Amino acid sequence: MQLWHVGRVSHEMVQPDGQQPVAPSALKGEGAQCFVEFEDGTAGQHPTSTPRALETDEIPGIVEDYRQAAERAKRAGFDMVEVHAANAYLLNQFLATGTNKRTDQYGGSLENRARFPLEVVDAVIDVYGADRVGIRMTPFIELFGLTDDEPEAMAFYMAEQLSKRGLAYLHLNEPNWAGGDITFPDGFREQMRERFSGSLIYCGNYDAERAEARIGENTTDAVAFGRPYIANPDLPERFRVNAPLTEPNHETFYGGDEKGYTDYPFMDNGYDRIQ
């Protein structure tokens, strides 16, 4: 189960009592949109609202929210929990210099900007144990107006801190997963391997061939697939027999009904291996 707080990537229409979204600082994500339901019953993407900055004394309450979410996931029978600290959402907003302009103990230095995400990790570990907790991060990503002057330094710091906690895995999203030319710097993967003792997982715009090559480099233990899995419920079998993949319909992402989630076809039973 992935635990996720969107922070400023939200709108008053989907907040309790029409309140402002919350964030480390009151900075709107330029160009950011979120999925909302309109008053006329339709739904779709809409520009996000300007957030308000969280008060220092509110942050422990959000940490407790994560703890309670982990408790509920455990009661529901989930084997593991992944803390979502990626893709320009709340925990990522605290990590990044462009979205975190705080002057309290949660802003400024690497250690301060990482404090809240690590408090969340510790709360979830208290529930599940470190060997059943992972985290997802996206250093270098440019999404929803998020910018960061210290992505590599923060990634290395977080890897070391998470390794000390014995976290099960660190899940890293490629910077160009949504398009663009940004990539990890030379040597980044090797240094992450040196700093993190658990399993490393990479994801974002991979196919089977690139995934195999990445694992062969010994810089990752696994490659994860998201969008291809949405459109291909039998993705492992398609990879095994080298079958063509169904392309996902992006217009059905993030909202609506079952269309685009449960109606993609499986391969025909008589499919033969492609030579």
Tens digit of each residue's pLDDT (9 = 90 or more) over 118-172: 999 999 999 999 999 999 999 999 889 999 999 999 999 999 999 999 999 999 9
Do the Cβ atoms of 268 and 237 come closer than 8 Å? no
**Residue 264: which pLDDT band, with cuts at 50, 70 and 90?**
very high
- Active site includes 89? yes
pLDDT (0 to 100) of residue 169: 98
pLDDT of residue 271: 56
Residues near 27 by beta carbon (within 8 Å), at least 6 away in sequence:
8, 50, 51, 99, 101
**Token pair for 31:** 């160009």
For residue 210, give its domain range: 55-224
If you average pLDDT over residues 70-97, what whole number do you get?
A: 98
Catalytic choice (89, 106, 128, 169): 89
Give domain status of residue 12, yes or no: no
Q: Render 162-210 in DSSP notation, one character per residue.
A: HHHTT-SEEEEE-TTTTSSS--PPTTHHHHHHHH--SEEEEESS--HHH
**CATH label of the domain that carries residue 105:** 3.20.20.70
The number of folded domains in the chain is: 1
Residue 41 lies in a domain: no
The amino acid present at 30, given as its one-letter code, is E
What mean pLDDT do residues 14-32 have? 94
Domain membership flag for residue 152:
yes
